A and B are shown apart, each in its own frame.
Chain A
Amino acid sequence: MHEISLAQAVWRQVTAELADRPGYRLRGLDLVVGAMSGVDPESLEFAMGLLVGESDWPDAEVRLRTEPLTLVCNACGREFTTDHFDLTCPACGSRDADPVRGTDLRLESLELETDDAAETHPA
């Protein structure tokens, strides 16, 4: 159960992004949890809910999607996904593959709103 500290790290990132954009309010945020990131999505969602609820933007929506492990075969170059961590390439049968996606936790995007008509293009 390390998701609380991960949620705090996510929140630090979110508040830093908002500090760079004065006048904007947080409406929502999108997180991507890799299948091999070692992060439990449900626990993370729960911890994020607590932090958002206590924040200046308690109604902000936390959206979370999981991303399958995606590998690239070092023998034939084929990219493929696996849901049970089998590294066998479906094209050539090689087991020499490296992960390209699905190994980390990422802040994909923020949804922001502002009352200020001049601020139409957040940096």
Chain B
Amino acid sequence: MPPKRIRLDKAIVTESDRLAAELAERYDRAGVLVMNLMSSPGAGKTSLLEATARSLSDRFRMACIDGDLATDRDAQRVRKAGMPCTQINTGGGCHLNGKQVRDALAAHRLQDLDILFIENVGNLVCPAVFDLGEHRRVVVSSTPEGDDKPVKYPVAFRLADAVVLNKMDLVGATDFVVEAFREYMDEIKPGLPVLEVSCKTGDGLAGWFEWVAAARDAVGRKVE
């Protein structure tokens, strides 16, 4: 018999995609806003979460799941700032997956939370491909990394709901051009909010807090 060609044209659904749908349902049932934070290592995800814990704890009930290859240093920092935080160690894993998040959720009572942050492993490539069922995806970029980050890692930036541009206090010490960054962002995803902050000095963080609160409102309304 001659070989037959069967046309399927089916998108590949990974185990992680299936879990993401299950997680999304769980978040919605509990009425919690879930945000997935991603960035390259050292851009300031943990610093942003510390600042958020200090400033928004009296408005929202928040918790965090933190992914790193090793140690619970980040979780310790976030907890110290006042937000319950569970550490996931991925070993060699370059991103968080749905199973790890599902397991970590055992430590949290979702229905008692307004916002759950997921701090992904520092990496702008792989985390972008793995949906964790989140409502909002935030990419943190920082000025020492260079202003052309968006076009070099378009998948992550394209899928973001907001970009936090951290370390604005260092902008004078680097070749970073804010307008160039914004133009590159405009190529990748026009109209995406770019929030300039310095977690060190606190400048601009009010804009981030406002964005978080608005996202919480939007999801809260949808759930009710």
CB distance from B131 to the nearest CB of A (A): 11
Residue of A whose beta carbon sits closest to that of B3: A113
Contact A36 B15 (CB under 8 A): no
- Cβ-based interface call for A64 (8 A): no
Question: Contacts A108-B7, A122-B4 hold; do A13 and B12 have CB atoms under 8 A apart?
Answer: yes
Residue of A whose beta carbon sits closest to that of B186: A95
Residue of A whose beta carbon sits closest to that of B126: A2
Question: Contacts A86-B187, A114-B1 hold; do A2 and B129 have CB atoms under 8 A apart?
Answer: yes
Residue of A whose beta carbon sits closest to that of B155: A38
Contact B12 A111 (CB under 8 A): no
Question: Contacts A2-B95, A9-B12, A96-B190 hold; do A85 and B154 have CB atoms under 8 A apart?
Answer: yes
**Chain B: interface size category:** 20 to 34
- Cβ-based interface call for B5 (8 A): yes
Question: Contacts A106-B9, A106-B10 hold; do A111 and B187 have CB atoms under 8 A apart?
Answer: no
- Cβ-based interface call for B201 (8 A): no
Contact B3 A104 (CB under 8 A): no
User: What chain B residues lie within 8 Å of A37 (beta carbons)?
Assistant: 129, 155
- Cβ-based interface call for A10 (8 A): yes
- The interface bits of chain B over 181-224 (1 if a CB of A lies within 8 angstroms of the residue's CB, else 0) are 00000111110000000000000000000000000000000000
CB distance from A75 to the nearest CB of B (A): 12
B contact face: mostly helix, strand, loop, or mixed = mixed
- The interface bits of chain A over 9-48 (1 if a CB of B lies within 8 angstroms of the residue's CB, else 0) are 1100100010000001001100000001111000000000
Tell me the residues in window 69-123 of chain A with beta carbons closer than 8 Å to chain B beta carbons.
84-88, 95-96, 104-117, 119-120, 122
User: Please, how many angstroms separate the alpha-carbon atoms of A98 and B138 in the complex?
Assistant: 20
Q: How many of chain A's residues have a CB under 8 angstroms from any CB in B?
A: 39
Contact A36 B129 (CB under 8 A): no
- Cβ-based interface call for B102 (8 A): no
- Cβ-based interface call for B88 (8 A): no
- Cβ-based interface call for A5 (8 A): yes
- Cβ-based interface call for B56 (8 A): no
Contact B129 A108 (CB under 8 A): no
Contact B11 A87 (CB under 8 A): no
Contact B8 A107 (CB under 8 A): yes
Contact B6 A112 (CB under 8 A): yes
Contact B11 A38 (CB under 8 A): no
Contact B154 A105 (CB under 8 A): no
Task: Among B14, B95, B158, point to the contact of A9 (Cβ < 8 A).
Answer: B14
Task: Among B4, B7, B12, B97, point to the contact of A113 (Cβ < 8 A).
Answer: B4
Task: Among A17, A86, A95, point to the contact of B8 (Cβ < 8 A).
Answer: A17
User: What chain B residues lie within 8 Å of A109 (beta carbons)?
Assistant: 5-9
Could you list some 14 contacts between A and B, CB below 8 A?
A9-B12, A9-B14, A9-B15, A13-B10, A17-B6, A24-B4, A39-B129, A85-B151, A85-B187, A95-B187, A109-B9, A112-B3, A114-B4, A119-B1
- Give the top 4 A-B pairs by smallest Cβ distance, nearest first: A38-B129, A9-B14, A85-B154, A113-B3
